[in-house]
RNA sequence: GCCGAAGUGGCGGAAUAGGCAGACGCGCACGACUCAAAAUCGUGUUCCCUCGGGAAUGUGGGUUCGAUUCCCACCUUCGGCACCA
């Protein structure tokens, strides 16, 4: 799921020189990062240090990071979210939580199949080879993943349950088949969900090819049934950005549906957000595809209408939906009756009315809608104002723009005089009054419309989870009996990008029998959108080997819900919305509990190439982490990824900055390994050291909680500088020094786990493993400052600094400030007009 | 057009219940060590200056003793949506 193949060894980018020598021969205690890292990784694995099992005596913490797509090679797109997430999971673990931090692979999908078409490798072989490599790479990161919980979505043991979930959705009435115009990627040769079509040119999210429309019968999930609940975020701590994106995507609008009638008596249902403007409807507009068009068109208009329909059909969506396009339309020759005032109004067709939203027909109120206004002026249709703004008299013949704002209802007996505010929905008194009246009169009712569409799940491809459905000529569509799952993907298929699923072309695979009558029947040959696989992977991690259900309930009850989920914001309206829908649907089916699957979400930013462009093979700006690991070690890269950016922002990649964290870690190494004679530091030096240690601990602790990774590293860098200073002043050997070294390594452990372990066990001689130690507690008394240094401002400019006791009263601070030589000089004997002691942080004088 | 995020040194960034702008690091310069280099260590590094200071957090206003932080208007960049009735 994390963005796809950017698998290039961009040596050109990293070639800053040969790999630097790991053995600068001068010192025996030189820092051999690579060998040391490998040593600890092997030991941790052998000791199962990071195995997470149910333990009722400890609080649980389920930390989830988005699983990678099996493109073959890990790049910074993977490391950037994972390194800090891993550090935080380790931090939580040291805080006494039983932490589940699992990983798996999003293994189905188009790139695997495309590799097969291009290079003749079976997708299965390609995918599993990539997984082996990625697993190895993930291990070099020194992550604390519990590998015994690994899940791979392309394993039959996994997709058996993806199929099972499809059947549960079907049984719940949430999966259905429908013929409709769907988005089709001509390059990927498959349909796409609306979420997978991006940008102004409506291109395929994966390959960038502009999509086309096709009329196809496809499987959908009724995600719109949960639209209102998906708009509620009160139980989850998710970033505002994501909530806004999801809210806009769902696009809820409140209004009314009203039944108009044709002169011949056919019902025409329309949706409007402005029922208060019904009296200003001077014509109606149908989408060219509206089913009533043929029936109502008058004989003398037939040719014109037919021509317009043809033309609209030929145009692409992009052409049709271009905003600045001049509106066009054709009169049908038919008339409708406005139910609120029995006015006879003409019916037009125009392509600015879309069949895919609302009912495909609108009432046009040109006085109060920009689009209707433009249309009315072009075709000389009447304009009648029904909302009068204050202080202006609208005149339908002369007005130059539609008035969409507030005013008072006019020409709308019996509602004249009702104020219309700019509020939307029933909060607007005019809308409320009219809607209630419509309901009484039974010509309309309250209605809500969404931009959100049902989730199109069918894909005409091979490398995905089969849709476990069977078609029988007599009994229609029925699910495969659950005891026959999984429906296995056959290995022997032919790779031809025909636009049909390779499964359809397989000679025997689709032949089966009807589960109702036992007569010959056919399997569904489309496969599922891979977002179905990733909608529930967090559940499979709970018990990846469990075969009596998708997950073991005991594991579910202990670990769920996910406490923290980290990953990219690009999934805001895709995976992050699908998985919420999935969870809610399965909750209603009685399979899971709780309203939300993931309580807290945090998004990292995107790492761009050095040229400020998205990293991609075609741009040739991909940087491989492997080179940097070889050169600097994993700890240096992990810490650099945490230090270099605001994590939630990201930015263009720059390899040179890693020198900073590498240098810092070498300085840590040197401080701990240089033999130093115990000294005789003053009590003041030792007190200061201890204060700095506990101040840093407080800061690092808070920053971990708040995902402020860059300041964790800078805090530790500052403390190291303080420790060097203290050692120079003879602090080594003192109890304060001992505490400082111990706490330093504990704070270092989550971010640089290898070097911390090495120094902890081998230099300090403490018991293995540092990763089993408790996170230290801040000694607030020790962190307290004895004195305060306050700047003194005169007319807003800093002129002096005074030092006062930390517990000095405001009066004492004031007199100390007034006594300062600089202040005396500026005052020249006068009294200051004002003296402000601000929060014991600053003194401000006005003279 | 609508919605959202963000603008701070050469660079990444720090500091917002309103209180010392530029922490920490990269880069750069100079010095020490070295035959030399690398590594390491030390010093300096926002800009201007008449060496007293002065200016500066996208721009312009405002509130305040005091604004990177709050308010108003605008500019730029990025992301999303877009004839949604």
Is A3 inside a domain boundary?
no
Average pLDDT over residues A815-840: 81
DSSP for residue A261: E
The residue among A385, A419, A450 that closes a domain is A450
CA A587 – CA A174 distance, rounded (Å): 13
pLDDT at A185: 87
Residue A359, nucleotide of least CA–C1' distance: B85
pLDDT at A616: 67
Q: Nearest protein residue to B13's C1' (by CA)?
A: A645
Protein A610 CA to nucleic acid B76 C1', in Å?
Answer: 21
Protein A731 CA to nucleic acid B31 C1', in Å?
Answer: 28
Cβ pair A171, A479 in contact under 8 A? yes
For residue A348, what are the CA distances in angstroms to A306, A382, A384, A594? 13, 13, 18, 49
Distant-in-sequence, close-in-space partners of A257: CB < 8 Å, separation ≥ 6: A269, A270, A271, A272, A359, A444, A445, A447
Protein A780 CA to nucleic acid B43 C1', in Å?
Answer: 35
pLDDT at A576: 95
Cis status, amide bond into A561, omega within 30 of 0 = yes
CA A418 – CA A422 distance, rounded (Å): 13
Q: Calculate the average pLDDT of chain A.
A: 89
Residue A658, nucleotide of least CA–C1' distance: B26
Average pLDDT over residues A409-418: 92
Query: Could you report the predicted ipTM of this complex, rounded to two decimals?
Result: 0.94
CA A705 – CA A95 distance, rounded (Å): 11
Strand B proximity: list residues 324-363 of A with CB under 7 Å. 325, 327, 351-358, 360, 362-363
Average pLDDT over residues A5-14: 28
Protein A804 CA to nucleic acid B53 C1', in Å?
Answer: 28
* Residue among A484, A467, A479 nearest A532 (CA): A467
Residue A277, nucleotide of least CA–C1' distance: B85
> CB of residue A42 closer than 7 A to nucleic acid strand B?
no
Q: Do residues A549 and A675 share a domain? A: no
CA A567 – CA A3 distance, rounded (Å): 11
Domain count for chain A: 5
Q: Do residues A380 and A263 share a domain? A: yes
CA A247 – CA A229 distance, rounded (Å): 11
The position carrying tokens 């809607």 is A435
Protein A714 CA to nucleic acid B22 C1', in Å?
Answer: 15
Distant-in-sequence, close-in-space partners of A710: CB < 8 Å, separation ≥ 6: A642, A643, A644, A645, A646, A647
Give A157-169 pLDDT, tens digit per residue. 999 999 999 999 9
Is A337 inside a domain boundary?
yes
Q: Cα dihedral angle (A411, A416, A417, A423), rounded to 10 degrees?
A: -80
- Strand B positions within 7 A of protein Cβ atoms: 3-6, 11-15, 17-21, 23-27, 38-42, 54-55, 65-67, 80-85
Protein A639 CA to nucleic acid B69 C1', in Å?
Answer: 29
Residue A362, nucleotide of least CA–C1' distance: B85
Protein A566 CA to nucleic acid B56 C1', in Å?
Answer: 38
Is A487 inside a domain boundary?
yes
Q: Do residues A422 and A476 share a domain? A: no
pLDDT at A7: 27
Long-range contacts of A306-309 (CB under 8 A, 24+ apart): A308/A349, A309/A349
pLDDT at A19: 32
**Partner residues linked to A604 by β-bridges:** A568
For residue A185, what are the CA distances in angstroms to A211, A499, A556? 5, 10, 38
pLDDT at A822: 79
Q: Nearest protein residue to B24's C1' (by CA)?
A: A714
Secondary element (H or E) of residue A88 = helix A76-94
- Phi/psi for A297 (5° steps) reads -60, 130
> CB of residue A226 closer than 7 A to nucleic acid strand B?
no
Q: Do residues A771 and A696 share a domain? A: yes
Residue A200, nucleotide of least CA–C1' distance: B82
Q: Do residues A509 and A617 share a domain? A: no
* Residue among A625, A727, A618, A627 nearest A670 (CA): A727
- What is the domain extent for residue A724? 656-783
Q: Do residues A693 and A608 share a domain? A: no
Residue A648, nucleotide of least CA–C1' distance: B5
Protein A669 CA to nucleic acid B34 C1', in Å?
Answer: 24
pLDDT at A606: 86
Q: Do residues A777 and A672 share a domain? A: yes
> CB of residue A243 closer than 7 A to nucleic acid strand B?
no
Secondary element (H or E) of residue A220 = strand A212-221
Residue A424, nucleotide of least CA–C1' distance: B85
CA A10 – CA A583 distance, rounded (Å): 41
Protein A797 CA to nucleic acid B53 C1', in Å?
Answer: 12
The position carrying tokens 């090819």 is A209
Tokens of A387: 């909302």
Q: Residue A244, exposed/middle/buried by CB under 10 A (0-12, 13-18, 19+)?
A: exposed
> CB of residue A553 closer than 7 A to nucleic acid strand B?
no
Tokens of A541: 């991690």
> CB of residue A587 closer than 7 A to nucleic acid strand B?
no
For residue A478, what are the CA distances in angstroms to A128, A475, A516? 33, 8, 8
* Residue among A262, A253, A256, A274 nearest A442 (CA): A256
CA A583 – CA A585 distance, rounded (Å): 5
Is A5 inside a domain boundary?
no
pLDDT at A574: 92
Q: Do residues A122 and A263 share a domain? A: no
Residue A804 belongs to domain with CATH number:
3.10.20.590
Q: Do residues A550 and A430 share a domain? A: no
The residue among A744, A759, A783 that closes a domain is A783
Give A126-145 pLDDT, tens digit per residue. 999 999 999 998 998 999 99
> CB of residue A322 closer than 7 A to nucleic acid strand B?
yes
pLDDT at A285: 96
Average pLDDT over residues A111-134: 88
Strand B proximity: list residues 282-311 of A with CB under 7 Å. 287
Tokens of A733: 């050997």
Cβ pair A394, A367 in contact under 8 A? yes
Per the document, the length of chain A is 847
Average pLDDT over residues A661-676: 91
Residue A590 belongs to domain with CATH number:
3.40.50.620
Distant-in-sequence, close-in-space partners of A85: CB < 8 Å, separation ≥ 6: A63, A65, A101, A566
Give A471-526 pLDDT, tens digit per residue. 999 999 999 999 999 999 999 888 776 777 889 989 999 999 999 999 999 999 99
pLDDT at A72: 75
Residue A343 belongs to domain with CATH number:
3.90.740.10
Average pLDDT over residues A239-261: 92
Strand B proximity: list residues 691-750 of A with CB under 7 Å. 708, 710-711, 713-714, 717-718, 721, 724
Protein A628 CA to nucleic acid B25 C1', in Å?
Answer: 18
> CB of residue A838 closer than 7 A to nucleic acid strand B?
yes
Give A274-311 pLDDT, tens digit per residue. 999 999 999 999 999 999 999 999 999 999 999 999 88
Q: Do residues A445 and A459 share a domain? A: no
Q: Do residues A799 and A774 share a domain? A: no
The position carrying tokens 């009702």 is A418
Distant-in-sequence, close-in-space partners of A688: CB < 8 Å, separation ≥ 6: A722, A726
Protein A237 CA to nucleic acid B83 C1', in Å?
Answer: 35
**Partner residues linked to A534 by β-bridges:** none
pLDDT at A18: 32
Protein A421 CA to nucleic acid B17 C1', in Å?
Answer: 36
> CB of residue A208 closer than 7 A to nucleic acid strand B?
no
Is A357 inside a domain boundary?
yes
**Partner residues linked to A379 by β-bridges:** none
Is A649 inside a domain boundary?
no
Tokens of A363: 């009432």
What is the percentage of chain A residues whose pLDDT exceeds 70?
A: 95
Cβ pair A75, A614 in contact under 8 A? no
Residue A727 belongs to domain with CATH number:
1.10.730.10
The residue among A732, A748, A783 that closes a domain is A783
Point out the least confidently predicted range of A364-368, A424-428, A674-678: A674-678
For residue A764, what are the CA distances in angstroms to A544, A636, A748? 40, 21, 14
Cβ pair A460, A189 in contact under 8 A? yes
Protein A728 CA to nucleic acid B52 C1', in Å?
Answer: 38
Protein A798 CA to nucleic acid B48 C1', in Å?
Answer: 19
Protein A700 CA to nucleic acid B6 C1', in Å?
Answer: 26
Q: Do residues A778 and A677 share a domain? A: yes
> CB of residue A273 closer than 7 A to nucleic acid strand B?
yes
> CB of residue A801 closer than 7 A to nucleic acid strand B?
yes
Strand B proximity: list residues 441-460 of A with CB under 7 Å. 449, 451
Is A651 inside a domain boundary?
no
Q: Which pLDDT band holds residue A317 (cuts at 50, 70, 90)?
A: low
* Residue among A579, A489, A586 nearest A534 (CA): A579
Give A564-609 pLDDT, tens digit per residue. 999 988 899 999 999 999 999 999 999 999 999 999 999 998 888 7
Protein A243 CA to nucleic acid B64 C1', in Å?
Answer: 36
> CB of residue A139 closer than 7 A to nucleic acid strand B?
no
pLDDT at A257 over 70: yes
Strand B proximity: list residues 488-517 of A with CB under 7 Å. none
Residue A721, nucleotide of least CA–C1' distance: B24
Plot region of A760 (φ>0 → left; ψ -120 to 50 → alpha; else → beta): alpha
């Amino acid at each position: 799921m994390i963005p796809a193949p950017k698998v290039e060894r961009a040596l050109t980018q990293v070639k800053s020189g040969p790999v630097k020598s790991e053995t600068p021969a001068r010192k025996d205690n030189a820092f051999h990062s690579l060998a040391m890292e490998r040593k600890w990784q092997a030991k941790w694995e052998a000791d199962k240090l990071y195995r997470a099992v149910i333990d009722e005596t400890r609080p649980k913490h389920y930390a989830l990071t988005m699983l990678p797509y099996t493109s073959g090679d890990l790049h910074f797109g993977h490391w950037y979210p994972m390194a800090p997430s891993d550090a935080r999971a380790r931090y939580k673990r040291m805080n006494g939580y039983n932490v589940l931090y699992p990983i798996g692979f999003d293994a189905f999908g188009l790139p695997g199949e495309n590799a097969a078409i291009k290079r003749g490798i079976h997708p299965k072989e390609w995918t599993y080879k990539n997984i082996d490599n990625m697993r190895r790479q993930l291990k070099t990161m020194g992550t604390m993943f519990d590998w015994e919980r690994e899940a791979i979505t392309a394993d039959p043991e996994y997709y058996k349950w993806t199929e099972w979930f499809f059947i549960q959705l079907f049984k719940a009435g949430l999966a259905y088949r429908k013929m409709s115009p769907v988005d089709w990627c001509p390059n990927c040769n498959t349909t796409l969900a609306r979420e997978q079509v991006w940008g102004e040119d409506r291109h395929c999210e994966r390959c960038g090819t502009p999509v086309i429309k096709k009329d196809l019968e496809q499987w959908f999930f009724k995600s719109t049934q949960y639209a209102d609940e998906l708009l509620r975020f009160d139980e989850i701590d998710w970033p505002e950005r994501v909530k806004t994106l999801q809210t806009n995507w769902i696009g809820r609008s409140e209004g009314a549906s009203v039944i108009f009638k044709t002169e011949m008596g056919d019902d025409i249902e329309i949706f409007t957000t402005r029922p208060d403007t019904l009296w200003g409807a001077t014509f109606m507009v149908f989408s060219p595809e509206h089913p009533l068009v043929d029936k109502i068109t008058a004989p003398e208009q037939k040719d014109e209408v037919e021509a317009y329909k043809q033309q609209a059909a030929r145009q692409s969506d992009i052409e049709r939906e271009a905003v600045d396009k001049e509106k066009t339309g054709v009169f049908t020759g038919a008339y409708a009756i406005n139910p609120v005032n029995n006015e006879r109004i003409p019916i037009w067709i125009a392509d600015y009315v879309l069949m895919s939203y609302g009912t495909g027909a609108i009432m046009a109120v040109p006085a109060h809608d920009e689009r209707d206004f433009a249309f009315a002026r072009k075709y000389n249709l009447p304009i009648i104002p029904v909302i009068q703004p204050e202080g202006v008299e609208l005149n339908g013949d002369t007005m130059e723009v539609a008035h969409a704002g507030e005013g008072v209802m006019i020409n709308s007996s019996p509602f004249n005089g009702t104020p219309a505010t700019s509020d939307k929905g029933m909060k607007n008194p005019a809308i409320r009054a009219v809607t209630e009246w419509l309901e009484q009169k039974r010509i309309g009712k309250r209605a809500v419309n969404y931009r959100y569409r049902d989730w199109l799940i069918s894909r005409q491809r091979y490398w995905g989870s089969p849709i476990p459905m069977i078609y029988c000529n007599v009994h229609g569509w029925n699910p495969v009996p659950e005891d026959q799952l999984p429906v296995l993907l056959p290995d022997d298929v032919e790779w031809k990008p025909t636009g049909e699923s390779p499964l359809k072309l397989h000679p025997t695979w689709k032949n089966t029998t009807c589960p109702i009558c036992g007569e010959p029947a056919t399997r569904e040959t489309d496969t599922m959108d891979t977002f179905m696989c990733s909608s529930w992977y967090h559940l499979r991690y709970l018990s990846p080997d469990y075969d009596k259900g998708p997950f073991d309930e005991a594991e579910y009850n202990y670990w769920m819900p996910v406490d923290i989920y980290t990953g990219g914001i690009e999934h805001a309206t895709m995976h992050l919305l699908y998985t919420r829908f999935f969870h809610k649907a399965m909750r209603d089916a009685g399979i899971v509990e709780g309203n939300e699957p993931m309580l807290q979400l945090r998004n990292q930013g995107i790492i761009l190439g050095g040229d400020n462009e998205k990293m991609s093979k075609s741009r040739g700006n991909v940087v491989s982490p492997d080179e940097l690991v070889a050169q600097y070690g994993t700890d240096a890269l992990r810490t650099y990824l945490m230090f270099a950016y605001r994590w939630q922002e990201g930015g263009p990649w720059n390899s040179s900055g890693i020198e900073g964290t590498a240098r810092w870690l070498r300085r840590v190494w040197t401080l701990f390994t240089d033999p130093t004679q115990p000294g005789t530091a003053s009590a003041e030096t030792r007190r200061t050291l201890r204060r700095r240690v506990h101040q840093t601990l407080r800061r690092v602790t808070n920053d971990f909680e708040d995902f402020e990774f860059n300041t964790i590293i800078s805090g530790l860098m500052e403390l190291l500088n303080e420790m060097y200073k203290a050692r120079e002043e003879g602090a080594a050997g003192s109890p304060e020094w001992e505490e400082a070294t111990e706490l330093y390594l504990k704070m270092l452990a989550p971010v640089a786990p290898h070097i911390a372990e090495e120094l902890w066990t081998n230099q300090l001689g403490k018991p293995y493993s540092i990763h089993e130690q408790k996170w230290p507690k801040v000694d607030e008394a020790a962190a307290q400052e004895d004195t305060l240094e306050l700047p003194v401002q005169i007319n807003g400019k800093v002129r002096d600094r005074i030092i006062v006791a930390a517990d000095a009263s405001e009066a004492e601070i004031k007199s100390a400030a007034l006594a300062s030589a600089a202040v005396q000089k500026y005052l020249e004997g006068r009294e200051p007009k004002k003296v402000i002691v601000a929060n014991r942080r600053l003194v401000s004088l006005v003279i």
